[in-house]
Amino acid sequence: MSTLTESVKPLSYITEDEQMLREASADFARTVIAPHVHEMDEQAKLKPEIIKAFFEQGLMGIDIPEEYDGGGGNFFMSILAIEEVSKVDASASVFMDVQNTLVNNAFVNFANEEMKKKYLPQLAMEKVGAYALSEAGSGSDAFALKARAEKKGDEYILNGNKLWITNGAEAEIFLVFANINPEAGYKGITGFVVEKDFEGFSVGKKEDKLGIRASSTTEIILEDCRVPAENVIGEVGKGYKIAIETLNEGRIGIGAQMIGIAQGAFDAAIAYSKERKQFGKPISAFQGLQFQLAKMAVDIECARHLVYNAARLKMNGQPFLKEAAMAKYYASEVAERVASQAVEVFGGYGFVKEYPVEKYFRDSKIGKIYEGTSNMQLQTIAKLILS
């Protein structure tokens, strides 16, 4: 009999290599991450040995080409791995999600060859990356950013503050967006590769969050930060293009995270419903609960197909903007709904930290907020279906 859980059984549209990574990611999450989830959530910090293990497992550079020491996989593999890790811990999954779907993708798609050779092996093997776009007054309106860059000789001088930066506490390589020509509006935005030890760069306040607590979310401070001119990623004034395209891809990653959360909460609810007895029989024997569990299963499967479809479209070079927005929107709705229902399946036990579902519920809420709020996804969908 197979040792795989129901949620890791092979699917007809997953290749053998993709399934192997999927199973390896699930095993890594269960054996390496799971024993530390509660402690990391309480301490609001990923354990250093788990960060190291992510690199050793090859999960920080899944679709970085082999010539740059990466896994040589594809975007869909990253999505599968994110989903499997999210079933165990969403904090750990977003740590690898940002690395794969935002940072690595930006380097692969926009960096010149010299920059790829310098940074991609580091990102694949040992160094954490972060994506610094958001600011206090620049969230959904991402191009309203106030950070500035001024060319001086063979350097750019960056000034400003970034907020809500995932992996800010652990990262050593940052993609920072600043405007070199405010009069040009978004056409002045430029992307820079900033290393943590660059003069004028510092990590500020770490946020104390409701969910995904072990994932660091920090402020980034740029005070006359000196960045070599060759560290411009892509073209000067074309940072908006990098930001748009990477965030579109990143939303599929968040969708994967959300279906992982939903599946993890659902698996816990199923197991508990078979163990918990009331009125002389397991609560899973009551039709009222059976119908609730059935609807949860339908929701998860629908969300999974949306996410997988968007990932396949992206991977095959097909238009995917609408599908990515749909996947992110619906998966975040499902994660919150399923996790909430899972708490109710557990009853009073679902409300205490001794059991896992309260954490799934807390972790699910961020899905409607980061990398584009639900309203922004609906706006994108509406625009595309009406065009």
Which are the catalytic amino acids? 371
Q: How far apart are CA 41 and CA 89, in angstroms?
A: 9
Contact call for residues 25 and 96 (beta carbons, < 8 A): no
The closest of 46, 59, 33, 70 to 171, measured between CA atoms, is 46
Whole-Å CA distances, 353 to 57, 213, 283, 332, 359: 29, 14, 22, 22, 7
For residue 64, give both structure tokens: 């970085």
Distance CA(75)–CA(58), nearest Å, equals 14
* DSSP characters over 94-161: HHHHIIIIIIIHHHHHHS-HHHHHHHHHHHHHT--EEEE--BTTBSSSGGG---EEEEETTEEEEEEE
Query: Between helices 287-315 and 75-86, what is the axis angle to 10°?
Result: 150
8 Å CB contact between 2 and 9: yes
Phi, then psi, of 226 in degrees rounded to 5: -95, 120
Q: Please answer whether residues 179 and 190 qualify as being in contact, where contact means their C-beta atoms are separated by less than 8 angstroms.
A: yes
* Bridge partners of residue 165, in order along the sequence: 218
Q: 217 is written with which tokens?
A: 């979310």
